[in-house]
Chains A and B, each alone.
Chain A
Amino acid sequence: MTDLLFARSQMAISLGFHIVFACIGMTMPFFMAMSHWKWLKTKDEVYLKLTKAWAKGVAILFATGAVSGTMLSFELGLLWPKFMEHAGPIFGMPFSLEGTAFFLEAICLGIYLYGWNRFPPYVHWFCGLLVGLSGVASGIFVVAANAWMNSPTGFDWVNGQAINVDPIKAMFNDAWFTQALHMILAAFVATAFGVAGVHAFFLRKNPNSSFHQKALGIVIWFAVISALLQPISGDLSAKDIAKRQPAKLAAAEALFETQTSAPLLIGGIPDEKNKTVRYGLEIPGALSLLVHGNFKDEVIGLDQIPEDEQPPVAVVHYAFQIMVGIGIFLFLIACYFLFSRWVLKRQEFSSLLLRLLVIAAPLGFVAVQAGWVVTEVGRQPWIIYGILKTKDSLTPMPGLIYPFILTTSVYVFLAVIVSWLMIRQFKAVAGEFKS
């Protein structure tokens, strides 16, 4: 492997690690605040215990997210100094706002976690809600920064230097809205299904536990609503990418040739050498329909992209399939839930639904990882799309295998400990709420 590949892998592992905790840190405070609200309204002790159990989860996972995020803000410079030198002043605006929002999040979390009985109840509750709101705000800002890498704007590129920098225009680039919407919804989908899966698991063991029933009763709505909305946002993203980054969409769909009535490819093994796809299922005209709204229009394939500006096809295609596949699966679970609740009028959770939720627990996070692979690998070879290539922004320091090994070991070590720690939490909670 080359230094470039080690640096990219280190970045991928760091982002992949961070995004899990970032998702939870953004969205779980809302579950917690909802349960807290119910406690304030009903004074049902179970809600209080649930709030505290979730708050504990938020605390552990938020801390991990905060420090791994710090790591990222340094790694951008450690690995890609040339990129940051150019990009810093242009896309720094959302970063500084992200820092600000994150600061608020940290303060509110401190107040919330340690503030029981120290504040008026509703002020305390509101701080908990603010943790989630500022978390979502910081998520939007940081995705806006990433969106700028996909859709660079707000500067003029003259002789390899950025001039006439306009940070506000850069922040509100063409991609920020679709990307931020997709990510925030994804965070809700992943976390809500993750939490729902855990409670469904325990509910299958102790069907009468009111603790787990109430927990699932709150979190299922977050899961269902976000899973129903996500395909709409995905559609917006696809249409947007088709316009701005045809190479990325072509790679995701393994569309080697530009064609009218372009088919939608399901599955298949792209052969990048011979520019063909084996074993795929093609739905005629469906890609044209998704992108342009009719069966006819042309979709740009990889043949229109210069050879040295094409992203890797297979990785992006597989990742895209995984993301979309999971999205559809979770969408169907959401439909099934609404069907059984509204049409069949079943108030309790059926055993099939619980089983599906347990299976779905990790899937949202898998989809988030896959989605980021699509957007990041799909942008290659560019780090700033159309402006600066990833290889040209790499640090001159040789031997990048060593930082790669070091950071990877740290992340693997932490991942193992966090998982072990969460299992201990679940067991402790399960022991307390046997019936």
Chain B
Amino acid sequence: MIWIVLTFLALSVYLYCLLGGADFGVGVHELFVSKKKKRQHEEVVRVAMGPVWEANHMWIIITIVILFVGFPRVYAEVSTYLHIPITLMLVGIIMRGCAFSFRHYDAVEDGSRKYYSLIFSLSSILTPITFGMIVGALMLGKINPEGLDYYSVYVAPWLNLFTLATGFFILSIFTFIASIFMIGEETIGDLKKSYIRRAKIVHLIMIAMGGLVFLTAQMEGFPLAIQFLKNPIALTSVALATISHFLLWKWLASAKAWPLRFVAGFQLLMVVTAWMEFSFPNAITYADGSVLSFLAEAGPDKTLWMLGLTLIIGAIIFLPILGYLFFVFKKGTIKSI
């Protein structure tokens, strides 16, 4: 049963990155829309994200619940030593959700719109970066409960070149996924073209950021590249992600919305798989080399059984409803291909 629970954990992280990530990326893109088109573009964003963003947001809650029910020690340790970036990420999550729905539903359209949009965009940047820094800190192995001062225990593990690089890598991934998502959503010709252009630019940035992750790991004394080369599954995943770049560029040229979405989703899946395969079964690597393993820290059997059953039943009920939601609201884009 622990494997079922772990699969759901991985799945919910992946879906949050894919669906939630796309929503965050949209906020980043908004910063780069010309003043003239801004209002029109916001309307497209409203239609694209409005019906689904809350459901997309749920995946992070599912992740957290699985963690604290199934792997309470992991949850407790992560939230103790990464308190600060988690708090910052939460501020981003809460501000973004509110700004988006306030902008949506404000009865009067006036200058306040500008501020909603600004908060929406800034928090859409803050959350992915801090999320990436958390991921980076978990991998890096500088979490040090025995540290002598506040800085070394609560700041240093997550604030360094490597975690910054992972933060920006995640930000670029989310922004990339959003550009692919928006190619299909955009109804205005120029903007559609601009998203194709953006997808290409962000794609290059993303690859550069990926390289930077490996480089900064080396600088922080973390032989990520070498360990990676020794891990066949992680390596294959990254290789597949790289090969699929060709398909991506081919379809970008013809702006095929759904094939593009699938290949971008696949790339993300490969990156997430590589990350998880690389780390698993360790949730945290500490500074002294000891680890906190998912397998060793799992909750009691009975709890895992109940959790697993809830997840399975939930999936049987919800995935079709969720699919229906997406089908109803996204079939317009299917037709438009």
Contacts and interface: CB of A to CB of B under 8 A. Distances in A.
16 contacts: A60-B105, A66-B54, A70-B64, A76-B68, A77-B68, A93-B303, A96-B311, A99-B61, A102-B58, A110-B54, A113-B50, A115-B328, A403-B87, A406-B91, A421-B105, A425-B107
Interface of A: 56, 59-60, 62-64, 66-71, 73-78, 81-82, 84-90, 92-93, 95-97, 99-100, 102-104, 106-107, 109-111, 113-115, 118-119, 163, 165-168, 395-399, 403, 406-407, 410, 414, 417-418, 421, 424-425, 427-429
Interface in B48-96: 50-52, 54-55, 57-58, 60-62, 64-66, 68-70, 72-73, 75-80, 83, 86-87, 90-91, 93-96
B94 A107 contact: no
B76 A106 contact: no
A62 B150 CA distance: 38
B181 interface: no
Contacts of B96: 67
B328 A59 contact: no
Contacts of B311: 96
B299 A63 contact: no
Nearest to B56: A106
Given A76-B68, A82-B76, A111-B325, A63 B306 contact: no
Given A96-B69, A399-B150, A107 B322 contact: yes
Nearest to B313: A100
B69 A64 contact: no
A85 B75 CA distance: 7
Nearest to B107: A428
A71 B102 contact: no
- Give the size category of B's interface with A: 35 or more
A77 B106 CA distance: 34
A225 to B, nearest CB: 29
Contact of A89 (B55, B100, B300): B300
Contacts of A75: 90
B57 A66 contact: yes
B310 interface: yes
Given A109-B54, A113-B50, A84 B75 contact: yes
Contacts of A109: 54
A114 B76 contact: no
B328 A397 contact: no
DSSP class of B's interface residues: helix, strand, loop or mixed?
helix
- Most B CB contacts (10 A, CB to CB) among A59, A96, A104, A424 go to A96
B306 A168 contact: yes
Contacts of A102: 58, 61
Contacts of A163: 300
A125 to B, nearest CB: 16
B329 interface: yes
B102 A421 contact: yes
A282 B153 CA distance: 55
A74 B86 contact: yes
Contacts of B51: 110-111, 113-115
B280 interface: no
Contacts of A119: 328
Contacts of B321: 104, 107
Interface in B143-194: 150, 153-154
Q: Which 3 A-B pairs have the closest CB atoms?
A: A92-B69, A77-B79, A88-B72
B49 to A, nearest CB: 10
B307 interface: yes
Nearest to A118: B328
B54 A84 contact: no
Contact of B79 (A81, A89, A407, A417): A81
Contacts of A90: 303
A184 to B, nearest CB: 21
B94 A104 contact: no
Contact of A92 (B60, B91, B100, B303): B303
Contact of B62 (A60, A84, A99, A168): A99
Given A81-B77, A425-B107, 4 more contacts: A63-B101, A74-B64, A166-B302, A168-B306
Contact of B86 (A78, A104, A107, A396): A78
- Most B CB contacts (10 A, CB to CB) among A62, A70, A109 go to A70
A397 B90 CA distance: 18
